[in-house]
Structure formats: C-alpha cells, structure tokens
C-alpha cells in the first residue's frame, strides 16, 4: 500500500485530503498541532493511519514524520503540505510577529518537510540505482496571483511556496520527484470569515472538491506532471501558465540614459493613477465556466 504524509490534517482541507487518500488505499501519517482536532481526524479515518503532532515548521517534526512513515508503514510515497495559518492585516499595520508566524508556518513548514522527504528519496535513488515513487503536493493560493491587499504575509508565503515547488521539481527530477502546487478555493475554518457561510444546498467550495486533483497528482496518473500550478475548486481545475514577458526594450547604445529609459517605458505605463500590472486576475471568473475533455469552454 502506498504511504502519504499530510500536514494540517486536523481540520478543513487537510482532513479532507487525508480522508480521501485513506479511502483510496493509502496508509497515512497525519500532522497538526496537538489537540482534539487531530484526534478526531484519526478516529474518523480509522485503519492504517497514525498521527505525529507537532509544529510543522520544526526540523524535528519533519524528521519524525518521515521516520514514522518509513518505520511504521515501510515507505514514503507522497507528501501533501497543507498546514497554514492567517494573520490578516494591511502591510502598514502588520506586526513583526504576524509576518513571522504566517511565513514560518506556510513557507518554512513546506520547506522542512520537503527537505527531509527529498533527502530520503535521493538516498533511495542512489541505493537502488533507480528513482523511487515520489510525489509532493504543495498548497499555494491565488493570493500570490492577486496581490491580496490585506494579506501581505500570506501572499508572500504562498508565492514562496510556488517558487519552492518549481525549484524542487527541477532539482529533484532525477530522483523521481514530481512536485506540484495547488491553489484551492475551499471553505474551511481558516477561510470561513473571508468566504462567508456556506449555502443551504451543496457547497461548491467544500474542501472535498479539491481532493480529486490531489489524488490525481499523488497517483500514478500524475507521473507526467511536475512543476505545475493549479487553481482548483468546485468542479474546476485550471492549469496556470508561466509568467510572460509583457514588453522588452533595448538601449540604442547598450547603456540606458534616463531620458531614453523614460521614453521607452512611458509607452506602456500610461495609466494615471497607476494600478499594479503584475497580477493574474484571469483566475477570478473561473467559477463561471469549466473546460471539457476536448478543450471547449462550457
């Protein structure tokens, strides 16, 4: 049976992912802070599951998770990084602690588990002379695409997670690692205040709508997918493209003068007052359409 680690598994999206993996036949190692929420997830899943509570940003916690997976279940095949917190505040009012807490849990929390897991897989590849089965699913957010005004800490951490994912995909490909990031829209305890109460009927933002993509990326079908970023929610999966070059200018003499540079850049920066241009607002209307198997919009 394949073995997966899921962080932030005490509630919300992490619990939904852990439950889906267990239902798909995975043996699962769960992480969250100690408390009844994590115990409830373990009880709800039952079967081949073990909890290793602890601070996900601590090196020792990451080591314990990988060691538990290998010693308890015999291997580690999938790492799902999900743990996170919010400390929303406008950047001019944000405290040092609010910044450090969010960046630490999200970005460092993703790094330390990735560091220990990829070192384990690299050792296996060298020992066995072939790449092992190795999947990483990281959790980013559209906040990094949209420059969420009241979430400078969160947006920065999520942008860092995307960069970490890409660097991991490139640096660890030879060792069999497939690393991808998802930007989920899910109504959870962490996001409930932002998204409001659920509707009376089926909730398109229920965390369970995210799990099919996580299972796909974790499974054999995900072998040809790495270094990608997805937006996923309620029946929608969108594959993001890489940033493009909006415009390029070349100094006539090879060295820019102030006048020449102003003349060049003023051809594209014409709005007054200016608005941020390096945004990806194309993801916002995704809830209104899906893409069929043949690529048509519907």
Catalytic-role residue among 26, 133, 154, 175: 154
Catalytic-role residue among 23, 75, 148, 158: 158
In this structure, the strands spanning 177-184 and 134-139 are: parallel
Distance CA 61, CA 109 (A): 10
Q: Other CB atoms closer than 10 Å to residue 137's CB: what's the count?
A: 26
**Nearest by Cα to 141 from 170, 177, 107, 113:** 107
CA distances from 54 to 57, 59, 63, 245 (A): 9, 10, 11, 43
CA distances from 1 to 28, 43, 59, 285 (A): 10, 20, 27, 39
Q: Any catalytic annotation for residue 158? A: yes
Phi, psi of 158 (to 5 degrees): -70, -35
Token pair of 40 as six digits: 């409830």
CA 48 to centroid of chain Cα atoms = 25
Q: Any catalytic annotation for residue 154? A: yes
**Nearest by Cα to 64 from 42, 37, 31, 41:** 31
Catalytic-role residue among 75, 95, 133, 141: 141
Phi, psi of 181 (to 5 degrees): -125, 140
Token pair of 77 as six digits: 């095949």
Which residues are part of the catalytic machinery? Answer: 141, 154, 158
């Amino acid at each position: 049976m394949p073995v997966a680690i899921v962080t932030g598994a005490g509630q919300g999206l992490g619990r939904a992912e852990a439950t889906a993996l267990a239902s798909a036949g995975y043996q699962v190692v769960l992480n969250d802070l100690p408390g009844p929420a994590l115990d409830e997830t373990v009880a709800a899943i039952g079967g081949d599951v073990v909890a290793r509570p602890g601070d996900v940003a601590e090196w020792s916690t990451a080591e314990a998770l990988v060691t538990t997976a290998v010693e308890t279940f015999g291997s580690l095949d999938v790492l799902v990084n999900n743990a996170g917190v919010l400390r929303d505040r406008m950047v001019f009012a944000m405290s040092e602690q609010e910044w450090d807490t969010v960046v630490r849990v999200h970005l460092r929390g993703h790094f330390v588990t990735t560091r220990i897991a990829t070192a384990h897989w690299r050792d296996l590849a060298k020992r066995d002379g072939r790449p092992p089965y190795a999947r990483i699913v990281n959790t980013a957010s559209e906040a990094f695409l949209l420059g969420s005004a009241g979430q400078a800490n969160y947006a920065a951490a999520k942008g860092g997670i995307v960069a970490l994912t890409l660097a991991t995909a490139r640096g660890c490909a030879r060792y069999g690692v497939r690393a991808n990031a998802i930007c989920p829209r899910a109504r959870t305890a962490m996001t409930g205040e932002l998204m409001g109460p659920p509707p009376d009927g089926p909730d398109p933002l229920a965390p369970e709508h995210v799990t099919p993509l996580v299972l796909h990326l974790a499974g054999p079908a995900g072998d040809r997918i790495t270094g990608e970023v997805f937006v996923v929610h309620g029946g929608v999966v969108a594959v993001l493209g890489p940033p493009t070059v909006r415009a390029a200018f070349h100094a006539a003499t090879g060295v820019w003068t102030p006048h020449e540079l102003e003349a060049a850049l003023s051809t594209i920066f014409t709005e007054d007052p200016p608005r941020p241009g390096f945004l990806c607002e194309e993801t916002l209307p995704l809830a209104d359409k899906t893409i069929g198997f043949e690529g048509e919009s519907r």
